[in-house]
Amino acid sequence: MPITFKPIELFGGAITANLPSSYADVSNIREVPDHQEIYLDASGFSSVIVEIAERVSDPPTDPEALKFHFEDIVDEHDTSRVWHTDVAQLVHLPPNAPCYTLLATTTPPAAINGNVHAKTPSFTAVLLTMIRLEAQSTDIVVTVNIPHIPGHQEPSDGEVNFEERKFGSLVEDGIKIRDEVWRSLEVRDWGLFGGGGDVS
């Protein structure tokens, strides 16, 4: 089924982006930190998290900062692997705001040991995008999380092989969501970042 999108106001409308129509604002059911917006698939387990983070300057390089943000969200007990990194293009952001992306997977200890309980993912695919706003001392981090839950949204045998770039339907949908965020994300109020003006 094709994914339909709708425009969403984030952080009080300071940022806008298109997200899937089936995704719901998690803050309506539980408390979410002020620096995050979390949207969860109402009919599944996937989610999108938009986070306003302090700009990472140590480590100093952009690829290292991308790795830092990924490691920051991974549970210390999970096994993780980054499969692909690249430069991202977000059309509504100034050209001097570098953007980077990665595709990774995380696997909880229970899945590795074969002791998977209901709603414990066998693995989670992570599509992370980092937007670097130097003048605002800010990194915007957008994460699309795609858990693969046995018996729920488990791909068929042989469908997923990240080494061969066979990502399966769930991850392919996640890539469509990420790409739509790239096409639509726009900063409407640069004052969100504490007084820094437009980076253009």
pLDDT of residue 120: 77
Beta strands in 12-158 (DSSP E): 15-20, 23-25, 36-41, 47-54, 79-87, 99-107, 123-133, 138-148
Q: CA-CA distance, 29 to 41, in Å (whole number)?
A: 13
Is the pLDDT higher at 156 or at 132? 132
Q: Work out whether strand 99-107 and strand 36-41 pair parallel, antiparallel, or are unpaired.
A: unpaired
pLDDT of residue 121: 81
16, 10 Cβ separation under 8 angstroms: yes
Q: CA-CA distance, 102 to 70, in Å (whole number)?
A: 9
Task: Evaluate the omega torsion of the peptide bond into residue 59 and state whether it is cis, within 30 degrees of 0.
Answer: yes
The three-point CA angle 107-26-90 to 5° equals 75
Minimum mean pLDDT range among 15-19, 37-41, 76-80, 90-94: 76-80
pLDDT per residue as tens digits for the range 102-152: 999 999 886 555 555 556 788 999 999 999 999 999 999 999 999 988 766
Bridge partners, residue 106, by sequence? 80, 124
92, two tokens: 């509504």
pLDDT per residue as tens digits for the range 24-83: 999 999 999 999 999 999 988 999 999 999 999 887 799 999 999 999 999 888 899 999
